[in-house]
Amino acid sequence: MKNLITKEFAKIIILSAIYSTIINVILLALVKGPSGAPVDFGPFVYSAVVGATVLGVVLAGATYVLIGKFNKNLLSNWTVISLIVLILSFIPDVLLPYSSAAEDQGSTPFIILMLMIMHVVPAWIVIVKFNKYTKTQG
């Protein structure tokens, strides 16, 4: 495997972060009002969505590079680890109604579903883009 830390890969990370952020912000804009979520509901504010989306994509890029550095079968291992991390990322959303401030937060099944979808969007983009990059690297 060639050096994975390239300008091309950095561009892929940046574009993945931009695409993911745009889609998640659009999703939030479409559902924020109809969801009935309080205006200050932490996970449903724009800054939290943008920050978490960008951070998630950057951490995915770092993870990809680490897996590639220590593993010969990057494509399949990266995909499996990404899917496992995606599933684990749902845990805080699923546990949201059971948090101590659940009544004040206004968490509903719809809000939880939307938060989970906002995890799937960047995961899907990153998995597709990084796997395509891996195939071009030979």
16-64: pLDDT as tens digits? 999 999 999 999 999 887 777 777 777 888 999 999 999 999 999 999 9
Tally of domains within the chain: 1
Q: Pull the structure tokens for residue 69.
A: 């550095």
pLDDT of residue 65: 92
The pLDDT score that the predictor gives to residue 122 is: 97
Q: Cα–Cα distance between 56 and 13 in angstroms, integer?
A: 10
pLDDT digits over 91-116, tens only? 988 888 887 655 556 678 888 899 99
Residue 86 within any structural domain of the chain: yes
Q: How far is it, in rounded angstroms, from Cα 37 to Cα 46?
A: 13
Whose tokens are 């799937």? That residue is 120
Inside any domain, residue 2: no
Q: Is residue 1 part of a domain?
A: no
Which residues have C-beta within 8 Å of that of residue 116, sequence separation ≥ 6?
90, 93
The answer to whether residue 38 is domain-embedded is yes
Structure tokens at 79: 């995909």
- Top pLDDT among 37 and 1 is at 37
pLDDT category at 2 given cuts 50, 70, 90 is low
The C-alpha angle with vertex 133 and arms to 15 and 65, in degrees rounded to 5, equals 85
**Is residue 42 in a domain?**
yes
Residue 51 included in any domain: yes
Q: Which stretches within 36-108 are classed as H helix?
A: 46-70, 74-95, 102-105
Does the residue 68 lie in any domain?
yes
Q: Would residue 72 count as lying in a domain?
A: yes
Q: Which domain holds residue 123?
A: 7-137
Average predicted confidence (pLDDT) for the chain:
88
